[in-house]
Each structure stands twice: as structure tokens, then as C-alpha cells.
Amino acid sequence: MSFLKPKDVIDEGDTVILYISVNSMHVIEATPTIVNKKGETIEHIFQTSFGALKVRNIIGVKYGSRVELSKGYAFVLLPNPELWTQTLPHRTQIIYTPDISMILHQLEVRPGSIVVESGTGSGSLSHYLLRAVKPHGHLHTFDFHEARANQARDEFQHHGLGDFVTVYHRDVCENGFGEELDGKADAVFLDLPAPQLAVPHAFKALKASGGRFCSFSPCIEQSQRVCVALQELGFTEIQSYEILQQEDIVKTKTFPIMDLEFLKTKKTASSEEENSEKDLTKILKQPRDTIKVLTSSAPPTQPGHTGFLTFATLQPAFAR
């Protein structure tokens, strides 16, 4: 029940984030015992690069507390969508925070929204959508792979989010979203190999009052096909974005200050050549003052490509 609402103390069965460093985080279940491959019930001991953790010791501990490992320490954190994206078990390739932030903004998802998602996958984006639509909205998410759909359904239930999401096993390119969702959605999101085939179904699912559409595609050719399908159905404000996150290098640098006072003195033509060498020697021998400046520079390597986000608006029925 860790994702449902903020809480202070770890209860048995909670999903907990074990934080060692920004590059070393693990998701664990707060259960004192587990069943091994032989079917035997044994004590739940979680192994990390800094030693072992007896999981029973974190039950009843406050979230945010430091816990001891056999060769170091870690912190136990309350999970949220951002931490879950960094630690979730990957069933498929997932969408990360830079793209997700743009998706949520462009789809105008808010409490009470009805959202249709196709391509549940590992549930990375789904957790963000659920946080945004609670407590009165609902997420309808589809996956063509039955095992992944079942795993996602169990995961949402375990996280306490089952009341806000319905998981379907269906190929939406072939069978659509179902008549029960026609005209019900405020927003539709597609993450499919051939998203243009599902655009007509997205058109049917959006409300008569209009709504927003988004498709995530690794290749520009997929995005182009989606744009054509959207234009044919009367969507407007069609735009494609590529989100690249770049972390600038910020550091303090020291620069010498040049003394240019001698330039302010007016010199005659005869004395200029005579004194120039002496002035230069004098300047070079003088200790230079320095100034510290906070600088920002681009990293030596640029971030790699993730995918293209195609957005569009379906106008209200009377304006189409």
C-alpha cells in the first residue's frame, strides 16, 4: 500500500526503496520471510554491494531512516513514481522522467481525468498517470502480452492503486479500446510498434468535448505515419518533440586580471618604443591579481536519442 498515500512507518508487506547512492537503489518487499526455489520458507535477507540487510529489521522503522548493512548503511525511502522508474523490474523498455514530464504536461492530466494508455509494459508511465488522476480519475491501460498485463494488474493491486486503474489484455491495433470506452477519455497515450493503426481507435475513445493525444515512437518514420493519420481524422496542433536531457558542468574557475593602467598614459612617438619593452617586462614580473568566476559548460558527450513524442488536439465535435 506504499503508493496510495504518504505514510510514516514501514508496515509488513510494504514496497520500500533501499537507497545506497544515487546510482545504487533497490526495491524490496518488507516481508520477514520468503520462499526459496526449493519451496522452503527462509528468513528474508537482501544482499547489496555494502553487505546484507535483514529485512525484518526495517518493519516498524520510519521512512527516511538510516539502516545498517553488514558492511555499511543505507536509507529506507517511501516509493514514488520517480524512484519506482529507477528501480522497477524491467519487463520491457521503459519511458524515463524527461519524456514523462512532457507527456503529463502536454496531455493536461489532472485529478479526475480519464486516461487511456496502450502499451502498459513495465508500468513506468502508468504510475505517474495514476498519481496525476487520483482520487477521482481513472486509468485504462492495455497490453497485447497477457503475462505482462497480469503482472501489471497484480503490481497495481499490491501498490494500493487497484481502484484507480483497469488493466486489459488486448491488441488495440486490431480490436480497439472497446465500445465501453467510446467517448469517455480526456487523453490517449500510445506506445506501440505501429501507432498509426490505433489512431482511429483513439479518435473514437476521446470525448465529444475533445481531448489530447500523444504517441511515443523510437523512429521518426513512425512519428511521420502518426502525423498523417492524425491529419486525416481532423486532429489539430500536431507537433513532434525529441526530449534530450543535458546536465551542464558547473564549476568555479580562476582567471588572472590584467593590469592595463599603462594604456591610460599618453606617450609620445619617441618615448613609446623606448619604454614599451620596459613596461612589458615590468608587467610580466608583477604578481597578477585573480578573480573567481562561476562557469557553466556543456558536457564533452551529448545525450543519446530516446524517442519522439507526437502530440495533437481533438477539437470539440461542434468545431471539427
Sign of CA pseudo-dihedral 134, 136, 142, 147: positive
User: Binding residue per annotation — 129?
Assistant: no
Query: Whole-angstrom Cα distance, residue 51 to residue 69?
Result: 6
Strands 308-314 and 66-69: what pairing?
unpaired
User: Binding residue per annotation — 248?
Assistant: no
**10, 15, 37, 44, 46 from 41: Cα distances, Å:** 22, 20, 10, 9, 15
User: Binding residue per annotation — 39?
Assistant: no
Query: Whole-angstrom Cα distance, residue 16 to residue 3?
Result: 10
Torsion angles phi and psi, residue 66, rounded to 5? -85, 135
User: Binding residue per annotation — 171?
Assistant: yes
- Find where cell 546536465 sits: 247
Query: Whole-angstrom Cα distance, residue 241 to residue 231?
Result: 17
- Name residues whose C-beta falls within 8 Å of residue 189's C-beta, 6 or more positions apart in sequence: 103, 107, 115, 116, 117, 118, 119, 125, 129, 213, 214, 215, 216
Query: Whole-angstrom Cα distance, residue 122 to residue 145?
Result: 11
User: Binding residue per annotation — 263?
Assistant: no
Q: Which residues are annotated as a binding site?
A: 122-125, 143, 171, 191
Q: Which residues are annotated as a binding site for S-adenosyl-L-methionine?
A: 122-125, 143, 171, 191
